[in-house]
Chains A and B, each alone.
Chain A
Amino acid sequence: SQTIHQWPATLVQPVGSPLSLECTVEGTSNPNLYWYRQAAGRGLQLLFYSVGIGQISSEVPQNLSASRPQDRQFILSSKKLLLSDSGFYLCAWKKGGGTEAFFGQGTRLTVV
């Protein structure tokens, strides 16, 4: 069966510090991978998606970047965090031709 792992679950970082959130998927190959951010009262905003190794599409220009060094690994990064980067980040995967997305448990990021 397929599983998705996202870590850490919570993170408190000072302004200006770097960020690295990792997401891995097991039990499938060549998944579509997604990073979403949920800010209070604003639903989920798609940040990045990837359809293959090294292929990253950015939906919203901002302080964040994403990388996919391996088929089932998706990393969200920042060189210098801003206060506005605080939020709940969710990783998700979907089969290329499938309709259902599966979500990780999320990371609560607080930038102080």
Chain B
Amino acid sequence: AQSVTQLDSHVSVSEGTPVLLRCNYSSSYSPSLFWYVQHPNKGLQLLLKYTSAATLVKGINGFEAEFKKSETSFHLTKPSAHMSDAAEYFCVVMSGSARQLTFGSGTQLTVLP
């Protein structure tokens, strides 16, 4: 069984300040982990993925995430928020038969001017 917990349903930051979106996972197998972003009424776009290579993963738009097995975490960060970063972000885990993706409940990021 696998599960994902996104610890914050809403995060607000000021433009130019750092972003931290938290994610913890549970998996019986070595997981693959992803962060997706969704803009209003749009599909999902992959930001980055971890698949058992380097534990610090760099993605698009300046985002990065660090896989910490000891903490079962995969937090998403960005040094400086931009207004266009305002969206909903989903942490996703895939393991086992690799047939299923399990999504977290999402974190709505608001960027204040």
Q: Select from chain A the residue with minimum beta-carbon distance to B102.
A: A46
Asked if A15 is at the interface (CB within 8 A of a chain B CB), the reply is: no
From A32, A46, A92, A99, give the contact of B32 (CB < 8 A).
A99
Q: Show 29 residue pairs from A and B whose CB-CB distance is below 8 angstroms, ordered by the A residue.
A: A6-B43, A34-B101, A36-B103, A42-B105, A43-B103, A43-B104, A43-B106, A45-B103, A46-B100, A46-B102, A46-B103, A49-B100, A51-B99, A57-B99, A90-B43, A94-B101, A99-B32, A99-B51, A99-B98, A100-B34, A100-B49, A101-B46, A102-B46, A103-B36, A103-B45, A104-B43, A105-B42, A106-B42, A106-B43
Return the CB mask of B40-52 against A: 1 if under 8 Å, else 0.
0111111001010
- Interface residue ranges, A against B (CB under 8 Å): 6, 32, 34, 36, 41-46, 49, 51, 57, 59, 88, 90, 92, 94, 97, 99-106, 108
A108 touching B41 by the CB < 8 A rule?
A: yes
**A99-B32, A106-B42, A108-B41 provided; 19 other pairs, C-beta below 8 A?**
A34-B101, A41-B9, A42-B105, A43-B6, A43-B90, A43-B103, A43-B104, A46-B102, A49-B100, A90-B44, A97-B98, A99-B94, A100-B49, A101-B101, A102-B46, A103-B44, A104-B43, A106-B41, A106-B43
